[in-house]
Structure 1
Amino acid sequence: MYKQEVKDVPEKEEVEENCEDEEDEEPKVCQVCGDRATGYHFNAMTCEGCKGFFRRAMKRPVNFTCPFRGTCIITKNSRRQCQACRLQKCQSIGMLKELIMSDEELEQRRRLLKEKRMRVEPVLSAQQEAVIKELLEAQKKTFDISFVHFTHFRPLDRTLAPMYQYNKIYQEARTSLGRSAADGVQGTSFPCLSSSLPSSFSSQEGERLESGGKDRAFSTLPHIADLSTYMIQQIISFAKFLKSFRHVHRELSIEDQISLLKGATFEVCQIRFNMLFNESSGTWECGPLTYCMDDAARAGFQHHLLDPLMKFHYTLRRLHLDDPEYVLMQAIALFSPDRPGVTDHTTVDRLQEMTAITLQTYIETKRTSPDKHLLYPKIMACLTEMRSMNEEYTKQVLQIQEIQPEVPPLILEVVSKDTQ
């Protein structure tokens, strides 16, 4: 029997997005009735009315019959007159029952669309903006990035070749393996340099240093000691400039503040040096002064520290951080609640969490690359890597002091563990 069909009014469940924009240059035509189509629905180009009709017919199946032996012509005006022929037309153009969502799926999609419309893009809060501004000001006032004020230092004596010639190895890699290989050296797959010791040094000379022999001169140690002292003094000033550090004495003891500084100095120093690192030459360009890893080797530092340190600087520099990201990274290192000697872990943890969230939000709001979500975990991985190097640095400074007692008191104070 012929049954009068309800009006083709889109139901509430019809929330699916059209596959094609309604504002196409040429209007689309419904393949069922010839009305204006709104896109592909259930595998065919149709209007909203025929889309809704097909869904209702499939979800509440009824045996439609045609009073005219299935010969009805379906048009915009006649489509309500014969449901059987209209349904047959829908199926003949390729509309598929399998593509109809269940009520549960429609509800989930409706909810996701609502959440998408309500989702707000992350923005830096006023407090986070203030944190970044303060850190940048502290950096500007306490980091002599051009080294114009670094004048009272003992000369850099490079007459003695280092045991591990890092620059030589790097240049040989660029020459013998080509530029592509050198680019690989700059990446995270940085090779172990200790496996490529220069032939100009005998194993006997290496053994003398490894065993603590006192007959080896540390030619660059006086200058490196002066440079390290200069950097440490600036880092102490950096911490004192921060209200979040300077005012925490109301909650933290002076001993906790000292422990934070002692624990973070090496890491903050390396982060600052990374801003001056030239990955093309493998050198640090500090204003008129240029340093290479060989200078650290000449000062007595060994490859157990220098290998991962070299890799660290290449890895971090290739992230191409901007100044706010660098200073936030320094603040995260400074506010580390698990430093030796720290007792009020809760307060320090709160400060670190606030700084870390600010860095993450900054990256989300300021970066535009599609893989920007990877930057924050990469930065945190670099910070983790420095923690392991920090312990080795302390160990080697104390070893150097035993062999060549020229390490300044400030450096020895930083690496001492008497606050535990």
Structure 2
Amino acid sequence: MLIYNTYTREKEEFKPIEENKVKMYICGPTVYNYIHIGNARPVLFFDLVHRYFKYLGYEVEFVSNVTDVDDKIINRAIEEEVTEAEIAEKYLNYFLECNQLLNALPFTSMPKVTENMDEMIQFIHELVERGFAYAVDGDVYFRIDKVREYGQLSGKKIEELEVGARIAEDSKKENPLDFVLWKKTDKGITWDSPWGAGRPGWHTECVVMIGKEFGGKIDIHGGGTDLQFPHHENEIAQSICMNGHSLANYWMHVGRLGLNNEKMSKSLGNVINVKDLIEAIDANAFRLFMLSVHYRQPINYTEENIQLAVKEWQKIKSTFEQLHLKLDLAEALDVEGEVVPEIENLMQQFTLALEDDFNTSNAITSLYGVIKEINKMTRAKASDAACKYALMTLQNMAYIFGFDLSKKRLTLEERELMKAWEEARKAKDFKKADELRAQLQALNVL
């Protein structure tokens, strides 16, 4: 398997630190607002990564943090006249509900910043003690000139950054690029520390929680491209100083989602909340749309694009349901599948696409190929064993992509209704056939 590593800018063969185990971490939500569809892109992509590794037989430890203390959370709490904890709980619950509606597998754990404060204060204290950071008037800053590799992830040159940084230079800093590890403040919730009351800087949170959750270097660290700099760059800088490594062997970044060719942003107000969208369309169609473009490329949301995905999803769903019903009526859902070379070849193409840096666009082409082959098999009245193999292949593809393709088996009553419906159609008793069809539709059989 090849993964594009942002840190080296090359596709590299994936080699886990521990045999048959994958350790993954993605930067999670800052819970001050509703999750919008742009926020959902990394969630859906890394859910596919999670699923594919599980499909291959790996044990996957997948962690995502929760930033539950932040200036935005404090400001929202002031606006709504509630506590920061109430704001964080409200929007975290919304995030988790949306993940469930999107059929995302649960994370192994979701550590919160507020539950790891002692470890963060100790981490910052050690950076200061070892000369990698310094305190000034209750604030603590990280010395970036201690890290020779600074800029490796983002491809930014320190000299160019320094020119821009001087414009808004903080006179307390030794270097305009030094970033905050501890912020002195009396606004909102604060914690006592060796430097006075305050809160940790955002860039320290993930480094500390990765260390606590995994106990060392991890395989994959992911997030959106907007996090490459400064967030992930600053995570790496701290880890190099404290741990002697770049935190993860593979850094993966997901491209932005635009809305009608414009940047989607809460601050700009041009967002579509996840729940609002999936109340209007099938969540599976949204998944199909989001995974139709390679994860490193930007994707543009338009009404035309999403409606195309709705139509394509309906074809996938309809093909699955018809094949499932055919096998169920023949009482052949439990027969052993018989390999169909065309289907087998398409599954091989599907996995080869995912093995090449998770090329979901090419994998979807193989999925559509399976749909086409199943429809041909149905017309040709292929054997039950061949149809069962095709059904299993489609179910495996659906699992990896996170599609919720499921259909319950027919009950005795439903079998009798199907039999009566077929007899009415043969007898050309259209009135009775229509009545029976309506009953079957109400039972979600047809």
TM-score, structure 2 normalization = 0.17
Larger Rg: 1
With normalisation by structure 1, the TM-score equals 0.18
Greater strand percent: which structure? 2
